[in-house]
Chain A
Amino acid sequence: MNATSAEQASAPVTEDALRSVLAGERPSSPGPVLTSLTFGWRALLKIKHVPEQLVDVTMFPIMFTLMFTYLFGGALAGSTQEYLQFLLPGILVQANVMITMNTGITLNTDIQKGVFDRFRSLPVWRPSPLVGALLGDVMRYSIGSAIVITLGLVLGFRPEGGAVGVVLSVVLLLVFSFCLSWLWTMLSLILRTPNSVAGVSMMVMFPLTFVSNIFVDPKTMPGWLQAVVEVNPITHLATVVRGLMHGSVPAGEIGWVLVSSVLLVAVFGPITMVLYRNKK
């Protein structure tokens, strides 16, 4: 650490400089879009300074794709190649949905460190720190998606829906992930530490992604479990992504995903904002 030497080297605070700084202007307040984008810029800066935080975005989906394809692929679908065609869209869904947890952990860390109160004390549109953080996360989802798809293509994934299908499914995933993140922002305002946010998120995400049609066709499951899988929004999301990537466009299912996205924001957005306003 070279902080001490820098301290000595730094010039002392001068009265003149302080005077001129305090005579500064007072610009007019910017609108909600600009403040949200500015908070998004902060999230990108954090990725730049702490690239290690992208481990969950990169390693996790790579590990899952390789493990499931080669460990279970043969047993589940007859051949690893065939299973990959089924699994990859699902893994893409799982990767994105898992990455959303990061939103809550980051926000909770901000609260612990006191950055959050600085932002709350600013005269800006109140949701903008949260919206900005979520916009920054869209970058993470995009990186995660790009990695999964590239790896898939290398391993032999051949989307019949072509580039258009792939891009559309990623866009839909980004929308859903952005909306799901509000669940975690709410959680991070309730729980005390980043670790507890991570713990609770995992407890929700593991059953949610595994009790779905991401890894296997639910036809082999017992009836009661099929019923659970059927109402799991992740199942619908995986069905849509699978469909789009392989060239069929299930309009009803797309509608279902969009409606559940809107519902997620409509329910958890306002709760988050109430908690945010009254945070102790």
Chain B
Amino acid sequence: MGKLAIETRGLKKSFGKTHAVAGVDLAVSAGGVYGVLGPNGAGKTTAIRMLATLLHPDAGEAQVLGYDVVRDARAVRSRVGLTGQFASVDEDLTGVENLLLLARLLGYSRRRGRERAADLLDAFGLAEAADRQVKKYSGGMRRRIDIAASLVVTPELIFLDEPTTGLDPRSRNQVWEIVRGMVAEGTTVLLTTQYLDEADQLADRIAVIDHGKVIAEGSSGQLKASVGAGSLHVRLRAPEQRAEAERVLAGVLEVQVEPSADPAALSARISDPERVARSLAELSRSGIDVTEFALGQPSLDEVFLALTGHAAEETPEEDAA
């Protein structure tokens, strides 16, 4: 483990009676992507806002790149970039005007600022939209200009708050490419997401947050291992045989077998991998044709369910973020 990019101890923030962040300890090493995973209202955004010096913690301490977020706020601000629903660009201005504005504010001369804005627009595939007002951008373009705005001065650490929420798959992949590119260049990325596959794809380490607390932390593999050996997915040729297959599998595996949304599929969490081979033999002996039979690690969805007792996409009534 190298130098720490972020370190927090007992970080807390409440809004009235809502404890948005209820004592968070994080240790994020420099380099790579750190994922903060949690449902809406888990306190992700509040935590990031404190780390980015936009919000004073009620209690606890946080250091970002070695600087205290309260006492050395300006030092933190000059070293981090921030992108999210809460840190956006001016919709009335054009793409190039937004970037030039930030470049000037960050100390570029007018000429160098223009060059910098043009370079960024090029790199993010926005050159043709440079002179169009941002409010006329599509969702994907909008997200890219938001990220570009955080890179006017190359940050050592960038916060991306739900960078792909609401994007179509193609735009989402573009954002993922950008994140990987930034990491390859040595920027540390702290990314919040509600999407388990996003954390799985991008993050080296993941903190799972629920109700303002970190309930699990580790690599995606470690998190998955913590909930059991894995899961078995079976798909049948004939959906009408599913009830029978469920009975056969449950008998051999001695665990709960769940019918999937797909009418021909079943899944089960496995505690004893030895029994899996026997269950396949048992299915074929019962005359049930199987088109798919896969043993995999549990998905982060299952991890989340196991850790929190509720599904990841569930939205609590109170949105503390």
Q: Which residues of A contact B (CB under 8 A)?
A: 1-4, 6-7, 9-15, 17-24, 26-30, 34-35, 38-39, 41-42, 45-46, 49-50, 110, 113-115, 117-118, 120-124, 278-280
Contacts and interface: CB of A to CB of B under 8 A. Distances in A.
Nearest to B122: A17
B195 interface: no
Given A3-B137, A29-B78, A49-B92, A11 B125 contact: yes
B140 A114 contact: no
A280 B120 CA distance: 31
A136 B84 CA distance: 27
A117 B86 contact: yes
Contact of A124 (B105, B109, B136): B105
B151 interface: yes
B154 A22 contact: yes
A121 B101 contact: no
Nearest to A121: B82
Contact of A46 (B49, B92, B116): B92
B237 to A, nearest CB: 40
Contacts of B200: none
Contacts of A30: 104-107
A27 B153 contact: yes
Contact of B178 (A1, A18, A46, A123): A18
Interface in B91-107: 91-94, 97, 101-102, 104-107
A90 B91 CA distance: 37
User: For chain B, what secondary structure do more than half of its interface residues adopt (helix, strand, loop), or is it mixed?
Assistant: mixed
A170 B38 CA distance: 56
Interface of B: 15, 49, 52-56, 74, 77-78, 80, 82, 84-94, 97, 101-102, 104-109, 112, 116, 119-120, 122-129, 132-133, 136-138, 140-141, 144, 149, 151, 153-154, 174, 177-178, 181-182, 184-185, 187
B238 to A, nearest CB: 42
User: For chain A, what secondary structure do more than half of its interface residues adopt (helix, strand, loop), or is it mixed?
Assistant: helix
A22 B185 CA distance: 7
A144 to B, nearest CB: 20
A6 B141 contact: yes
Contact of B85 (A4, A6, A114): A114
A114 B128 contact: no
A-B interface, 3 closest residue pairs, ranked by CB to CB distance from nearest: A27-B107, A17-B123, A123-B78
- Determine which residue in B49, B86, B187 has the highest number of CB atoms from chain A within 10 A of its CB, and name it: B86
Nearest to A28: B107
B107 to A, nearest CB: 4
A13 B185 contact: no
Given A45-B97, A117-B87, A10 B123 contact: no
A114 B144 contact: no
Contacts of B133: 49
Contacts of A35: 105
Contact of A4 (B97, B116, B138, B187): B138
A23 B185 contact: yes
A255 B178 CA distance: 59
Nearest to A26: B153
A27 B116 CA distance: 12
Contacts of A10: 125-129, 141
Nearest to B56: A278
B123 A113 contact: no
B88 A18 contact: no
Given A113-B88, A118-B89, A38 B125 contact: no
A19 B87 contact: no
B115 to A, nearest CB: 10
Contacts of A21: 119-120, 123, 151, 154
A252 B225 CA distance: 81
Contacts of B126: 10
